Amino acid sequence: MTLRQDVFRALRSDGFKGKNGVCKRPDADGFSFVVSTGPLNKRTDISPTVGIRHDEIENLWYDLSGLPRNEYSATIGANLGYVLDGTYRDWQPPATAEEVLGFIRQGFDKLRPLMHLDRIRDGFAIPGSDMAKNYTLVLVELVRGDAAGVERELTNAYDAYCGQSGEVCDQFLKFEANLRERGLPPDTRGPF
């Protein structure tokens, strides 16, 4: 057994469900804690990624992006060390699964206050957590039912992703078109 495998097994014993080194455990109000130990192969190190997931936001992102859903994706997530204190961390044997789990639990304690729609934005201050920030902020406003907020965040996302043409912009425009096709919200920006 490797440290990764030991940590994954311990997480499963702690109520997490998952596979292939990625797992989640529901918490409250549509949020879950998520952990990735990395591939469960012969590597002996571990640099866990921890985060929170809002099921509705994640499912909307995949649906509007035209991608198959991933039930283990995080709404906000980063290397455990970045969550704890802004410093990348990894562990090697002789570290134990229980030692790593102790740090993972500390990471969850840091993330728990972000498990509210009005606090998700604050999570993007964690280094490495902002890969899908602009999509997420659009969807937070959508789930909150704030059409003006959706429009504001769509404009911010357009500015972030479409500063130049290319695949990143095309992907965002597909997401936005799918969102508008559902009628939420009507396009008030006019042509691009």
Banded pLDDT at 187 (limits 50, 70, 90): low
Write down the mean pLDDT value for the chain: 94
Of 143, 159, 128, 164, the C-alpha closest to 49 is: 128
The domain spans of the chain are 3-123, 133-181
Q: What is the pLDDT of residue 20?
A: 93
Quick: pLDDT tens for 113-146. 999 999 999 999 999 998 899 999 999 999 999 9
Q: What is the pLDDT of residue 192?
A: 38
pLDDT (average), residues 59-80: 96
**What is the crossing angle of helices 167-181 and 147-161, to 10°?**
160
pLDDT (average), residues 159-179: 95
Query: Distance between CA 93 and CA 91 in Å, rounded?
Result: 7
189 pLDDT more than 80: no
- What separation in angstroms does the CA of 5 have from each of 12, 16, 25, 100, 177? 11, 14, 18, 12, 42
190 pLDDT more than 60: no
- Where residue 20 falls (left for φ over 0; alpha for ψ -120 to 50; beta otherwise) is left
| Global confidence as pTM | 0.90
Quick: pLDDT tens for 48-65. 999 999 999 999 999 999
